[in-house]
């Protein structure tokens, strides 16, 4: 009886779908020059990029030094990051009268900015099952 139960359990476990591995993304932020305010970091899948629907967000107090932290438990896939240093602590990216950011900001891949934020393809990177590292230099 115990042998039949063990065989049935092993057989049933072979029929269950495999669960996707969770991956970690280590993010290095360079160019943090002020020990004021907070760093606002948003991680996006392609579908949420255009309308700012982030998959995960982090807010980190600024110490004035470069920062490294980890987004944990991600599904392997393609992601992009938008971030800014909220120096004045108001929770928003401060802009000039013509819309140009006046607080430091950055994107994954250090994607270039031309007349607005980069498109997802410029900022996109892969997070495989064994994880990834991404470096962003604030501008």
How do residues 28-86 score in pLDDT, each as one tens digit? Answer: 999 999 999 999 999 999 999 999 999 999 999 999 999 999 999 999 999 999 999 99
- Which of 78, 68, 73 shows the shortest CA–CA distance to 56? 73
In the chain, the percentage of residues whose pLDDT exceeds 70 is 86
- Positive or negative CA dihedral for 112, 115, 116, 119? negative
Using alpha carbons, list the distances in angstroms from residue 52 to 35, 44, 57, 80, 120: 27, 8, 11, 11, 11
Position 19 confidence tier, pLDDT thresholds 50, 70, 90: low
115 vs 74 pLDDT, higher one: 74
**Which CATH number applies to 20-137: 3.40.630.10, 2.60.40.10, 3.50.40.10, 1.10.150.530?**
2.60.40.10
User: pTM to 2 decimals?
Assistant: 0.84
pLDDT at 133 over 90: yes
């Amino acid at each position: 009886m115990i042998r039949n139960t063990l065989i049935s359990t092993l057989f049933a476990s072979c029929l269950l779908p495999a669960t996707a591995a969770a991956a970690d993304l280590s993010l290095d932020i360079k160019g943090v020059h002020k020990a004021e305010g907070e760093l606002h970091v948003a991680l996006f899948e392609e579908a949420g990029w255009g309308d700012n629907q982030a998959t995960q967000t982090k807010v980190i107090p600024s110490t004035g030094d470069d920062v490294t932290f980890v987004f944990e438990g991600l599904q392997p896939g393609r992601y992009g990051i938008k971030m800014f240093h909220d120096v004045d602590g108001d929770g928003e990216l401060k802009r000039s009268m013509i819309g140009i950011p006046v607080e430091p900001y950055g994107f994954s891949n250090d994607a270039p900015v031309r007349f607005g934020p980069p498109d997802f393809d410029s900022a996109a990177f892969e997070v495989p099952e064994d994880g990834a590292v991404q470096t962003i230099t604030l501008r």
